[in-house]
Amino acid sequence: MAETPLWEVFIRPRNGLAHKHVGSLHAADAVMALQAARDVYTRRGEGNSVWVVPSVAITASDPDHTDEMFEPTGDKIYRHPTFYEIPEDVGHM
Amino acid sequence: MYSQGLIGADGRTGETETFLAAFQARIDAEEKIEPKDAMPEGYRRTLVRQIGQHAHSEIVGMLPEGNWVTRAPSLRRKAALLAKVQDEGGHGLYLYSAAETLGVTRDGMTEELLAGKAKYSSIFNYPTLTWADIGTIGWLVDGAAIMNQIPLCRCSFGPYARAMIRICKEESFHQRQGYEIMLTLCRGTRAQKAMAQDALDRWWWPSLMMFGPHDAESSHTEQSMAWKIKRFSNDELRQKFIDATVPQAEYLGLKVPDPAMRWDEALNGGKGGYRHGPIDWDEFWRVVKGEGVMNRDRIAARKKAWDDGAWVREAALAHAAKRATGKVAAE
């Protein structure tokens, strides 16, 4: 028999915050995945909204290519506000 | 609810010195290792084994307590016990999914457990004979588990550490409800207090064994500590547990069943601690190797649950497949 598919679970602790990954679980379909996520990950009021996403639907960056992927931002210090010199007399900006 | 020096870990690894040194440097810098990062095969294998044993322990751990759900002495106790057993199930599931990030399958782990190839904490191979055993399990077994699990929240492997943080948050209720049961019994009739003492007598030594063999006999501790999978040795954790628990037993008016137990000023670097008598390691290994009172029952119960649930899993998958192709009659 085929293995029951894997789902990733995301929970929003309360309105105003983003959904955050909390773990994964196995379920046959989306409805059962939501019910299982409720039982497994929200037994103590951890949130008010749950997303379940089939794990196979996630495309992830390759950790072997982390350098090429993220290095280009390293030397672009002009993207940060502190790169620019503003005279103190101008005040807070 | 688990704690045991890993049984049969195999940290051997065949990578180059350069690779191992680079990995060790990441560990030493307290960087977390995530599932798709390069890691030594021995590190991966040790974690699969440890997280698997831990997950199985949570799942099998539901059985000794489930034994008392229908006979809990009040609705309050029953609700708490049900919630606790449900938590153990949840802990097992968090851990199985943490292990799956290392490339093993849930079905594969289940098959290993049912075939008797995978280990779980030997404490669950002891029977729960009286209601006081439920109090003692919460107090001692969950107490020992907490000692072991809190440092695991800082384990170098990210998914395991994250699962442990959730588990530790939930575990504190388990120990407190157990101690409250003991407190109630010890303030009750003479027979109730005797029941509490009897449970402590039976669970004390197995609880100390939960921390695993002495450091001198625990051959894989060193590698696990270097990789920061483990943060404290078996004996260090066992000592912490004893020092925390002996005064709690005194408060209950119960006697720890160790005639050799004594306060020793020299322990804990001169801060003092309770020195315990010799542990019967033959018993430990007998139970680990399958000769505990309940080993066969535990696996038989898990196998029955798995087999009896097969039609449900098949039906759910068939239903999902039908819905996916839009063939459900009602739609």
| pLDDT given for residue B15 in this prediction | 84
Which of 61-90 (A) contact B at CB < 8 A?
Answer: 62-64
d(CA B267, CA B218): 21
- A30 within a domain of the structure (yes/no): yes
- Please indicate whether, in this complex, the C-beta atoms of B162 and A44 are within 8 angstroms of each other: no
Average pLDDT score, chain B? 93
Question: Which residues of chain A make contact with B87, given a CB cutoff of 8 A?
Answer: 43
Query: Structure tokens of B82?
Result: 């049900």
- A88 within a domain of the structure (yes/no): no
d(CA B255, CA B245): 11
Mean pLDDT of B192-218: 95
Residue B259 has pLDDT above 60, yes or no: yes
| pLDDT given for residue B4 in this prediction | 52
Task: Using a CB–CB cutoff of 8 Å, tell me whether B222 touches chain A.
Answer: no
- Please indicate whether, in this complex, the C-beta atoms of B317 and A60 are within 8 angstroms of each other: no
Question: What does pTM read for this prediction?
Answer: 0.91
Q: What is the CB neighbour count within 10 angstroms for residue B118?
A: 18
d(CA B115, CA B303): 9
- A52 within a domain of the structure (yes/no): yes
CATH classification of the domain holding A37 = 3.10.20.520
| pLDDT given for residue B217 in this prediction | 87
A51 SS3 class: strand
| pLDDT given for residue A3 in this prediction | 83
- A80 within a domain of the structure (yes/no): no
- A77 within a domain of the structure (yes/no): no
- A34 within a domain of the structure (yes/no): yes
By mean pLDDT, which of A35-39, A77-81, B133-137, B272-276 is the weakest? A77-81
Query: What confidence tens digit (pLDDT) does each residue in B67-120 have?
Result: 999 999 999 999 999 999 999 999 999 999 999 999 999 999 999 999 999 999
Q: What does the DSSP assignment read for B51-68?
A: HHHHHHHHHHTHHHHHTT
Closest CA–CA distance from residue B126 to any residue of chain A (Å): 27
Distance set, CA B83 to CA A43, A77, A78, B54 (Å): 9, 52, 54, 20
| pLDDT given for residue B219 in this prediction | 72
- A45 within a domain of the structure (yes/no): yes
- A86 within a domain of the structure (yes/no): no
Closest CA–CA distance from residue A87 to any residue of chain B (Å): 39
Beta carbons of B147 and B188 less than 8 angstroms apart: no
In this prediction, what percent of chain B has a pLDDT beyond 70?
95
**Considering CB atoms only, which of A1, A32, A63 is closest to B37?**
A63
Question: Which residues of chain A make contact with B106, given a CB cutoff of 8 A?
Answer: 3-4, 26
Q: How many domains does chain A have?
A: 1
Task: Give the domain extent around A40.
Answer: 6-61
Beta carbons of B1 and B174 less than 8 angstroms apart: yes
Please name the residues in contact with B178: beta carbons below 8 A apart, sequence gap of 6 or more: B134, B135, B136, B137, B138, B139, B140, B142, B143
- Please indicate whether, in this complex, the C-beta atoms of B100 and A40 are within 8 angstroms of each other: no
